Amino acid sequence: MASDAISLIKHDHRVLEDLFDQVTASKGDRYALLEEIAVLLNAHSRAEEQEVYPAIGKAAPGRSPDVERSIQEHDEAEELLENALQSVDTPEFDDIFAEFLEAVSHHVEEEESELLPALQEACDRGALLRLGEAFAQAKAAEMSRSGYDEEEEAAAAYGRGREHLAGATRDELRSISSRWIRTTSGRRSPATTVGADDTPWAGAGQLPVGRSGFAAGSGTGRARLQ
């Protein structure tokens, strides 16, 4: 699979959609699936906000309002997912999860039809590859923030992806997802994240892809900016 930022983001979307389908079809432990979604969705969102959205704001300034709206949609999706987690054993779950799916589907459609094409048009292949590396590293750093002390351990766990999460206990998954869902304050705005001389996708190279389809970081990603 290509390791440019656009390909990685779209592949993440497909992996998450597969998990959504499993929840809707009641395949497996619904609560564990939701917590897995929380971990993967929040890693993806934080990496976009830290690396990809600032790059879009710099490369295509006219898209800055769309970037701001996308961050708000991340917040909305996280709140709806937390509601779903809290109502998993109630009769209201199907309606709450459907609302979450609608919000995420709208966000993905806008991102793939507007923001990502704008990024692709504004950046050459090399820049997209470097941004893909930064995106993957940021996700690895997010895994570190979820409770892993060593960067290498965080990267390895992220590379194992869904296989790793499936082996976690319910308490471990709840701890990870709760920290990720609630760690949303203090984000930098894309309008102020990247200065005129900043290069948020500095560094070349391609990264391997974990079994879940989420790119595995090198363990040297920058910490989340909060």
Per-domain residue ranges of the chain: 5-184
Q: What is the CA radius of gyration of the chain?
A: 17
Measure the N-to-C terminal CA separation of the chain; round to a whole number of Å. Answer: 31
Residue-wise pLDDT tens digits, 158-199: 444 444 454 555 555 555 555 544 444 444 444 433 333 343
User: Between 125-145 and 151-166, two packed helices, what is the crossing angle to 10 degrees?
Assistant: 80
User: 3-class SS at 78?
Assistant: helix
* Lowest model confidence (mean pLDDT) among 27-31, 41-45, 79-83, 173-177: 173-177
User: 3-class SS at 209?
Assistant: strand
Tokens representing residue 169 in the block: 């206990």
Q: What is the mean pLDDT of residues 107-114?
A: 96
The candidate with the shortest Cα–Cα distance to 131, out of 194, 79, 70, is 194
Residue 153 carries which side chain, given as an amino acid letter?
Answer: E
Instruction: Give the CB-side neighbour count of residue 35, counting CA atoms within 13 A.
Output: 23
Mean pLDDT of the chain: 75
Cβ pair 145, 179 in contact under 8 A: yes
